[in-house]
Amino acid sequence: MELWVTHSLDKVFPDSRRPPRAVDQIALRAARNETEDAQIAVHVPRGREVAQASCSLSDLTGPGGAKIGRRNISARWIWYTYVLANPPENKDPSSYLRKAPAFFPDAFLEQETIPIRDEWTQPLWISVKVPKGTPPGEYRGEIGLELVGTDGNRWTHSVPITVSVWPFTLPDRQHLHHTEWHYPDLLASWYHVAPWSEAHWKWLEKVAQDMAAHRQDMICTDWFDLVRVTRKADGKFAYDFSMLDRWVRMYRKVGIEWIEGGHLAHRRDAWDSPIVWHRFPVYDARGRKIDTGRLSDEAFEPYMEALLKAVYRHLKQRGWHKQLVQHVADEPIPQNEDSWCRCAAKVKEWLPGVPRIDAVMSRGLTGYVDIRVPQIQHTGPEVPRNPEETLWGYVCLAPQGQYPNRFLDYPSLRNRIIFWLSWSLGLKGFLHWGYNYWGSWRDLPEEVVVSPWTDATGGSIYITTGMPLPAGDAFLVYPGKESICSSLRWEVIRKGFEDYEYLYLLERAAEGKSKAAAAARRLLRRVKRDLAPDPLNHTRSDADLLEARREAGDLLAKLVHEKT
C-alpha cells in the first residue's frame, strides 16, 4: 500500500501515485470559528483489493489539556464522478486538469466503510472545525486507517495530525454575501416525498444546515410557492403566510437571515423576447384555481402588486424586511432591457427601499438595478462602476477557458480564487444558480433517469440542441440516503469565503502604524497586484495562494498580540 497526505486544493485521481516529496502527516493552521482541511490518499496495488476501508478519529489535545473534540473532526471518502466532456469552449488543454472522458474527484460519500479496487487511489477528506472558544496553540492527535483485504489480511496505519490555532476568530456574520439557488421541487422529486409535506420539510432543514455550514447567508425565496393567494368574492385578496413563516424561521434558526425574493418575471418565450410577469396560482373563495394565464400582462399586474405589497407588510410585521432583496427577472440582455426596466420600476414602486438584485447580461439598466451581478469576467478593474449600485459577481455556464469557475474538471484553485478576486475587485457578494439541480436539464426519454452521482451535466451531454452544461455546473451537493452529501468543490467554496474574512480582517488591521500593520499592507498590495489582480490574470499556483493565507494568519496573530 502507498499512503500520503496532501492539501485541500490538490485533486487526487484514480491513477495518482505518491509524489517524491510527499508528507505523511497532516499539519494545519486555522483561526477560531474556521474549518480547515487536508486529504489522505491511499493507493492499492495490483492484486490487493480492499473489501473494507475505514478510519478512526481521536480528540486533538492542546495547551493545558485543552481539546478539540473528535465531534469537530470529520473524515469522508471521496467519490469519483465520470465526466464525459470538458466545457465546450475549452479548446486549450491547459484550461482543464484532464481530457474527458475521465474520472474526477468530487462527491463525499455517506459510508464510513468502503471497498477499494486494486490499482486504484482513494482520497479521504479530513476537516477540522475549530470552535470559537478554543485557546490558541498547537493541538495534536491522530487518524487511524484500517484496510481489510478481500483475502482477510489487515493493514493499519496512523496519520499524525497537528492543528495550530491562531489567536483570532472569524466572525459569524460574513462580509461577502453568498447565495446558491436551491430547488425544493427537485429535492422532493428525488426523495419521492410530497412537496411541502413533513417529510419534505425534514430534508429542507438538512439543506438549511448544510448551507449555513458553508457560509451561505442568503436564501432564494419563491413567494409563489410559499404564499397561498385567495381572491375573495368581493375581489379583494387574502394571503396565507404560514409556509413562508416556517421557511424564514427555519433558515434564521441556522443563521441565514437574508431573504432573496425569487424572480417575479421571465422571458415571454425566446431568449431575446420581452420580459413579462410570472403567473402564480390564485384561488377563489371555494378553493378552485383561477385561470390567470388568459390575462394580459397589464391585467395581471394588480395581482402581482397586491402580492408584493402584502408580502412586504407581513415581513415588516415580523421584523424581517430589513434583510430583504428582490429579483426582477434573470439575466436581462440589451434586446429586452426596456421590458425588464419597466418591471423593475414597478417593483421599486411596490417595494420602496428594497434593493433590486439580478444577474445581468447588459451594461444598461442604470437607475433600475441596485445590486448588479455580472459574470465575473465583467468585474475587472477596467469595468466602469456606478457608485449608486452594489456590485456582486457570478459564474454559471460561463466564463470558460482560463477564467475561474467551479467546473468538475477545473483545478480547485480556480474555484477558490473567485473569493480572493471578490475582495481584490471590491465585490460584495457571490451568486450561483445551481445548488441542487439534480433533474434533467433538457427533455430526455422517459426511461432515462438522471443522477448527479453518474452524470454531472443533468443529462445535457446527450442532447443535440443547445449548449450542454459543463460538468458540475448544475449542483454542488449530492443526494445521500440520510444526508445532503457535500463535495470537494463545496468545501473549497467554503474555504474561499473564509479566505475573504482573512483579507477583510487584515484590511482593517492594516490601518495601524506597527510593523505588523505595515507588513499587512504589503501583503494586501501583493494580493491585488500578483495573486488576484483581475479575473483572467490571477495566480495558478496552489502554493502561492496557501502561503498567502498562512502569511495573513500569522500577521493577524501578531496584530492580536500587539493589542494585548
Each residue's pLDDT, cut to its tens digit, for the chain (564 residues) gives 999 999 999 999 999 999 999 999 999 999 999 999 999 999 999 999 999 999 999 999 999 999 999 999 999 999 999 999 999 889 899 999 999 999 999 999 999 999 999 999 999 999 999 999 999 999 999 999 999 999 999 999 999 999 999 999 999 999 999 999 999 999 999 999 999 999 999 999 999 999 999 999 999 999 999 999 999 999 999 999 999 999 999 999 999 999 999 999 999 999 999 999 999 999 999 999 999 989 999 999 999 999 999 999 999 999 999 999 999 999 999 999 999 999 999 999 999 999 999 999 999 999 999 999 999 999 999 998 999 999 999 999 999 999 999 999 999 999 999 999 999 999 999 999 999 999 888 778 888 888 999 999 998 888 877 778 999 999 999 999 999 999 999 999 999 999 999 999 999 999 888 999 999 999 999 999 999 999 999 999 999 999 999 999 999 999 988 876
CATH value of 2-169 in 3.40.50.300, 3.40.630.10, 2.60.40.10, 3.40.50.720: 2.60.40.10
Phi, psi of 146 (to 5 degrees): -135, 125
CB-based contact 375:333 (threshold 8 Å): no
Outline where 393-514 has alpha helix (H). Answer: 413-424, 488-509
Alpha-carbon gap, residue 233 to 527, rounded angstroms: 63
Which residues are CB-contacts of 441 (< 8 A; sequence separation ≥ 6)? 457, 458, 459, 460, 463, 468, 469, 474
Beta-sheet strands, E only, within 150-211: 154-169, 177-180
Q: How far is CA 43 from the centre of its chain?
A: 30
CB-based contact 289:281 (threshold 8 Å): yes
User: Which CA distances in Å does 69 have to 66, 142, 164, 167?
Assistant: 9, 12, 15, 18
Which residues belong to CATH 2.60.40.10 in the chain? 2-169
Which residues are CB-contacts of 518 (< 8 A; sequence separation ≥ 6)? 510
Report the pLDDT value the prediction gives residue 562, as an integer from 0 to 100.
Answer: 82
Q: Indicate the length of the chain as a whole number.
A: 564
With cell 475505514, the residue in question is 54
Alpha-carbon gap, residue 138 to 23, rounded angstroms: 19
CB-based contact 500:175 (threshold 8 Å): yes
Nearest Cα neighbor of 290 from 277, 300, 305 is 300
Q: Which residues of 321-331 are buried (b: 16+ CB within 10 A; e: fewer)?
A: bebbbbbbbbb
The pTM for the full model equals 0.97
Which residues are CB-contacts of 501 (< 8 A; sequence separation ≥ 6)? 170, 171, 174, 175
C-alpha cell at 77: 471518502
